[in-house]
Each structure stands twice: as structure tokens, then as C-alpha cells.
Structure 1
Amino acid sequence: MTTSPELPLSGVLVADFGRVLAAPYATMLLADLGADVIKVEHPTMGDDTRAWGPPHAHGEATYFLSVNRNKRSVALDLRDDADRRRAVELARRADVLFENFRPGTMPKYGLGYDEVRAANPKIVYCSITGFGAGRGADLPGYDLLIQAVGGLMSVTGPAPGQPVKTGVALVDVLTGLHAAIGVLAALRHREVSGEGQHIEVNLLSTLLSSLVNQAAGYTLAGQVPGILGNRHPSIAPYEVFQAKDRPLVIAVGNDRQFAALCRGIGAPQLAEDPRFATNGDRVAHIDELTRELAGLLATRTAAEWFEHLTPLGVPCGPVNDLAQAFDLADRLGLAPRAVIHSDEGPPTDLVANPISLSRTPPRYERRPPRLGEHTTEIADWLDS
């Protein structure tokens, strides 16, 4: 039950008890790289995201489809004795186990880390929680809640007092990435030492780490940041301006780029203005700078500014919708789509894995499974 040997994670069996987003995203990344991921789902309900629509594609929720390709689905009811035995046997045979139940749930079914380790000492066991397994164990780990209490919404929004969430469940995605990195590190350690281990990743800690410079500004300097809209706390001009037709981002990161911007918009004198001569000066006089630039940038379309300023070394671009973003990636040759063909229906058009490997690129062999699609073959294997 392994995959093609040329893939970097070929031969790694992953028992995926995860649901919704963080854990399934992590296991999909591993599956793209060759791991054999067996997704354990409840026989009647399945993963919650199977019901999270619209939108749908060919009768299936696109939310579920987005993070479950290259997996097989086995339907097991952990309250049923026979199914629970199969789940325990799957854990015994697995190299990696993912779960994101509330702390204390897996041990009730004989699937906690201690129980699995006793039968499978080399297991790499990854637990994903909202707030850890200690005093935060009973708190629900929903992405929106984490964005609120974890500080992300305090720095995100149009203006002070108007916090907003990000447009996707970003904390879940970041947590899945950290979980995948932890698993790869543990697999490397096992390769050297022969020992498995327990990995714990929680959404709150992941968000605090992912706030990077904003978090360091607090831990190192005691500065509590607030909402800056589309501005940057430490760089200017680094925000959204209104071009003639639609919003335009200017992302100037140093004095050289600022001088190029000033020349490009026909105002070279701004680069010599004492208020704007250095980045620190520009941050201190951000309102005056914005007023100076706004009128000039409103004279051309966003596409015209992009074509004119980019060759001058000025980071800029229009605010694209998703269709325009995919079109840009296509035009840049980035191959943003992963199209999986199947004899049982139309192709499944998903987003490509962003990791490019020169010798062992990601594979796209299996469309996201239907609920319990592989139960018979997997149950027969576990019972043998």
C-alpha cells in the first residue's frame, strides 16, 4: 500500500483522523509528496466540510475538495467495536498519525498517544488543538475565534476600531503548515534514532509566531500595535492607492525604490524632500506622503502604472480578484492548477501544490475521495 518510489515520502503511511482544515491541509501536502494518506471518517457524516457549501462542484463541496486530494477514505465509527479495532490496527501500522479532536477524545477509543506508542513505538503522532492540551483544552478551536483572541484582528481592518478577519481561515492553514514541518522533522529524527515522538501544534501559538514583526515589536519593545488599514507600521509608502480605475498597491521597501517611484510618477523632488528622504522620515510623515502620492497615482489606470513602474524597479500591482490572480500566475508560467483526471467523472481542477522540487515534484493522482470510497479494500487489509 505504497505509492510511486520516486516520490520523497513514498512508503510513509499516514493515518489521518483530522477534520475540517488544519490537519487535512497538512496531510494533503504530505500526500502530494507521495505519502499514502488514509482519511478516517464517520460513516454517515464524514468530514464536516463535506457539508460546507455552496459553492459545489459536481455535487461536492469545494471546501472539502480543496484539501483532500491524493487520499483514500475509510468509513469507521469509533464507537463500534469492529471499526474501533480497525482504527487501532491502522494506528499500529502507520508511520504518522494526525488528529485534531479535543484533548482527551482519542484516548477514549484507545487511540491516544500513549496507547498507540505502546503498540507502535516508532509512531510520529501529531495532535492539533486550538489552545493546547493544558488549561486551554476545553476551548473550541475555530479559526475566527483564534484570529480574534490571538491578536490578528487587532491589526487587521480598515481603521482603528474596525477589526476584520482575513478572507480565508489563515490560522488553520498556517497551523497545517507548521504541523507538516513538525512531522517531517520527526520523521528525520526517527530515521536517525529509531524513535517516534508526539508533536503538538496549536492554533493560538501558531498565530502568535506568525505575527512575526508585530509580535516582536511587543515582546522586544513593549509596543502594542493597532490597526493601520493597508499601511505598514515600519515601511512607507507600503499601502493601497486608488488609481484611475481600481486600487493599486505600492510596496516600496527602501530609499532607492522610493526615488524610482518619484521619477516614475513625474515628481522627483519628493525624494529630496526632507520629510520623505529616508524610510524613517516617510513613516513619520505618512499622511503628508500619502496625500502627495494619491493625486499623482489617480491619473493613470492600475495596469498602466504596473507596466510603467515595474521596469523601473518599483514593486507595485493592481488589486486582483481570484480570476485575475490565476491569470497572472498562468502568464508567469507558474502552473497554478492541479488537474486530476478520472474515469468516473469530469476532471477535478484544484490549486497546485506551491512546492517545486526539481527531482521529485508533487503528484496529483487521486481526486478527493467520496465518503468511505475505499472502506472495503482498507478494511480487508486491516483485517488480514
Structure 2
Amino acid sequence: MPMPTAANQPVALPLTGVRVVELGTFVTGPYAAALLGDMGADVIKIEPPRGDPMRGWSGDAYSPYFQAYNKSKRSIALDLRDEGDRDVARALIATADVLIHNYRPGVADRLGVGAEQARQLNPRLVYCRISGFGESGPYAERPSYNQVVQSLSGLDSLIVDPDRPTPVGPNFGDTVTGIFASHAILAALVRRERTGEGGVVDVTMLGSMLAFLAADVQDYLASGIVPHSGSRPSFSQSYMVEASDGLRLTVHLSSPEKFWKGLLAAVERSELADDPRFATWADRKDHYAELRDELRATFARRPRADWLRRLDAHDVPAAPLNDIAKALVDPQVIQLDAVVQRPGEGSPRTIVASPARIDDQPMLGRPAPRLAEHADAIRAELGLGAA
């Protein structure tokens, strides 16, 4: 599918001049670094000689998943078990503002790039270590991946069919942790500007998931009722229905009464306003299943395009239930330049841009690097010869 080709990115991005050394693999560490790279940081990804394992999910060592989590970086390959390569890594750390890794506790120390070791080289360094469960506690030494923390934290109980449990959806645990890590790194950089001191940032996948579920946790603590996969839809008054042409759409009413009234006008069901089961938001929440069934029967009478026009005319929050392919050709997605072509090795490559703008300046990012693509340039910057 053709994608818009973005104009050259302005030079003065917010993190221009900030250097990030990333020692991450798979998702959490790489994604945190990529987010900083989108904002202009010079991210240098130190990969093992055979590359980040995420590369190997396709035959060309450039898998779509690797591209997604490693945009806006430069790459150099180093074997941290080799003293000469470790010296190169130390030289990079000495020039860095930020270091990010997602090793298990203890691994960075054994490789010579632990927090104390790195900050002896560079006291102003913001050192971010991402782990599944933290540096201490009964689970500290356990391996952790996305699905592990989604299940342990309770997230899966909110999105999985309890009668047919199977993993579903995207990797919330990985990506949310990366977002929290980048957020904390930026806070540590601001603090450094005030105090002159670097610091150690610890972010866990388990803690990130619980923070992501803050509303569900608070609701449980207040009510004593354990939330489940149907709790959020009833509270938010969200409905997914199928139109007469078999196409589906979503309606999200929330709590403002105007959206409920707009829905009744759009679907020509004014009599539901007098039904005591649906008189207030609280009533509609308590009788969610009954209202869902009423709406399913109603929406089955017309094609989706007709319903979407009617809902829009009455200012009701609604959308088609798109798959990724349909989402990418949606006119609003195109308007946002959410997915763009950027210059890459050999030819332009399509990437997902940052959703944020500052003073209307986009932060588009750059395509992910090939393995060791920038090794010679990085070594030259350090005053070293080619490997």
C-alpha cells in the first residue's frame, strides 16, 4: 500500500545533542530507546555480533518486529565478553547521557557495564535498567516475557475469554514498559539539568503493568469486587455491534447524558429513554447485557455506512471496527502522517511516526539500522580505527 513520503525532518528536535547507548534486545529496552530516538536523541544500539535476536525473525535479519522497535538508531556490533570490544563500549558509555539495558539482574555487572561500573566512567550518566520483576524479591532471577507479566499482573484476566483462555492481542507488557522507561529517563534528565547528577532508573515490567491497570486496581480496592473482561465495557458504556451488511462498528457512550440521547435519536429508539433499566448511566451500567442485546437487534437493521452517518450527525462517538489494513487507509490516519516513508538504506522505508508534535513539529523518526551499519562512523567519532 503506498504511503505518504515525509519531507526532511527538521534538525532541532527536542533531544538533539543527547546521546543514548542501548544494550537492549527484543522489546522493552529497544522500544524505550527508539522513543527517545524519535525525539532527536542520538541512539547507538550495541548489538551482539549476530545481532539482536529480534532481527532473526525473518531471513534478512531485518524482521518487521525489529524495525518497529529499533527505529531512529545507529548500530554497532560488539561482543561484551571480549576485552577489546568492551573497551569500545566503555568509550561509548563515557560519552553518553543515557544508558538503557533490559538484562536480567546481575548480567550487566558480569559484562562490565553494571550501574556502578558505568557511572564510575560517567557520573552524569542516567542509567536505566529494565527487568521483569526488579533487582530483588522472590522473582528477581526469573526469566520474564510479555505474556508472563500480563498474566501475573492480572491484565490477561481483563482481556481473555475466561471460558477459552488463550493469549490475545498485542504485547501490552513489553510496549507499556518501554513507554514508562522513556518517561522516567526524561524525568531523570530534567533532574540532572537541575542538580548536575545522573542517576539509576529502575523500571519493571510487572510494575508497569500494574501502573497501566491503575483504574482497575483502584476500583477493586474501593469496591472489593474483582474486575473481569466485562467490567470496563459496562462502566464505559462501550458496545460493538454488527450491521445488516455484516460489518461491525463500535459505539462508546461514556457517562455524558448527551451521548445517550444522541444515540437514541440516531437509532430511532426514543422509547428506551423511558425504560427504567436504562434511565441513568448507573442503570445502563447495571443492565449492560440487556441494553447490548437491544442495540444488537437495532443495528442489524441497516448497513454500517448508514449507521455511521447517523451517529456522526448526532455527535455520538463511534467508529468502524477496522483491522490494521483498513486502519492504514483511513483518511484521518493519512491526515496525521501516522505511517510515513522515510529515507533508508537503499530505498525509502515505511515506519510508524511518533504521535506527538511540539509546536506543530513532527517527530517522524528514521528507519531501523542494519546490523553494524554505523560501526565505522561510530568508531571514528571515538578516535578508533575500523574493527
The Cα shift of 1:60 comes to 2.6
The Cα shift of 1:331 comes to 6.0
Aligned partner of 2:348 in structure 1 is 347
Q: How does 1:91-130 map to 2 (within 5 A)?
A: 91-130=93-132
Aligned partner of 2:147 in structure 1 is 144
Percent identity for Structure 1 against Structure 2: 37
The Cα shift of 1:182 comes to 0.5
Aligned partner of 1:23 in structure 2 is 29
SS of the aligned residue for 1:249 comes to: strand
**CA–CA distance in 1 between the matches of 2:87 and 2:106?**
19
**CA–CA distance in 2 between the matches of 1:69 and 1:303?**
37
Query: For 1:49, which of 51, 54, 59 is the aligned residue?
Result: 54
The Cα shift of 1:382 comes to 3.0
Q: What code does the residue aligned with 1:171 have? A: G
SS of the aligned residue for 2:330 comes to: helix
**CA–CA distance in 2 between the matches of 1:382 and 1:186?**
26
**CA–CA distance in 1 between the matches of 2:269 and 2:234?**
24
1:26-57 deviations in Å (ceiling 9; x for gaps): 1111111111100000112x11110124xx7x
**CA–CA distance in 2 between the matches of 1:8 and 1:131?**
32
Contact 2:176–2:208, Cα closer than 8 Å, also in 1 = yes
Structure 1 length normalisation: TM-score? 0.92
Q: How does 1:60-71 map to 2 (within 5 A)?
A: 60-71=62-73
Q: CA RMSD in A?
A: 2.0
Q: What code does the residue aligned with 2:54 have? A: T
Contact 1:71–1:368, Cα closer than 8 Å, also in 2 = yes
Query: For 2:294, which of 273, 292, 295 is the aligned residue?
Result: 292
Change in Cα spacing, 1:347 to 1:142, as seen in structure 2 (3 Å) is same
Contact 1:124–1:187, Cα closer than 8 Å, also in 2 = yes
The Cα shift of 1:66 comes to 1.1
Contact 1:156–1:163, Cα closer than 8 Å, also in 2 = no
Return 5+ residue gaps in structure 1 as ranges: none
The Cα shift of 1:162 comes to 3.1
Contact 2:327–2:333, Cα closer than 8 Å, also in 1 = no
**CA–CA distance in 2 between the matches of 1:235 and 1:376?**
54
SS of the aligned residue for 2:382 comes to: helix
Aligned partner of 1:225 in structure 2 is 227
Is 1:189 aligned to residue 194 of structure 2? Answer: no
Q: Which moved more, 1:374-383 or 1:304-313?
A: 374-383
Aligned partner of 2:175 in structure 1 is 173
Is 1:358 aligned to residue 359 of structure 2? Answer: yes
Contact 1:86–1:383, Cα closer than 8 Å, also in 2 = no
**CA–CA distance in 2 between the matches of 1:220 and 1:180?**
31
Q: What code does the residue aligned with 1:311 have? A: A
Contact 1:262–1:268, Cα closer than 8 Å, also in 2 = yes
Aligned partner of 2:5 in structure 1 is none
Contact 1:19–1:47, Cα closer than 8 Å, also in 2 = yes
Change in Cα spacing, 1:332 to 1:85, as seen in structure 2 (3 Å) is closer
Query: For 2:40, which of 31, 34, 39 is the aligned residue?
Result: 34
Aligned partner of 1:367 in structure 2 is 367
**CA–CA distance in 2 between the matches of 1:41 and 1:307?**
51
Aligned partner of 2:4 in structure 1 is none
**CA–CA distance in 2 between the matches of 1:100 and 1:213?**
27
SS of the aligned residue for 2:100 comes to: strand
**CA–CA distance in 2 between the matches of 1:167 and 1:285?**
27
**CA–CA distance in 2 between the matches of 1:59 and 1:117?**
33
Aligned partner of 1:376 in structure 2 is 376
1:278-324 deviations in Å (ceiling 9; x for gaps): 01111112222122211111111222211111220111122101121
Contact 1:75–1:372, Cα closer than 8 Å, also in 2 = yes
- Count of residues in Structure 1 that have an aligned counterpart in Structure 2: 373
1:89-110 deviations in Å (ceiling 9; x for gaps): 2112210000000010111122
Aligned partner of 2:215 in structure 1 is 213
Is 1:14 aligned to residue 15 of structure 2? Answer: no
Q: What code does the residue aligned with 1:189 have? A: R
Aligned partner of 1:318 in structure 2 is 320
Structure 2 length normalisation: TM-score? 0.91
The Cα shift of 1:164 comes to 4.2
The Cα shift of 1:359 comes to 5.7
SS of the aligned residue for 2:67 comes to: helix
SS of the aligned residue for 2:276 comes to: coil
Return 5+ residue gaps in structure 2 as ranges: 1-8
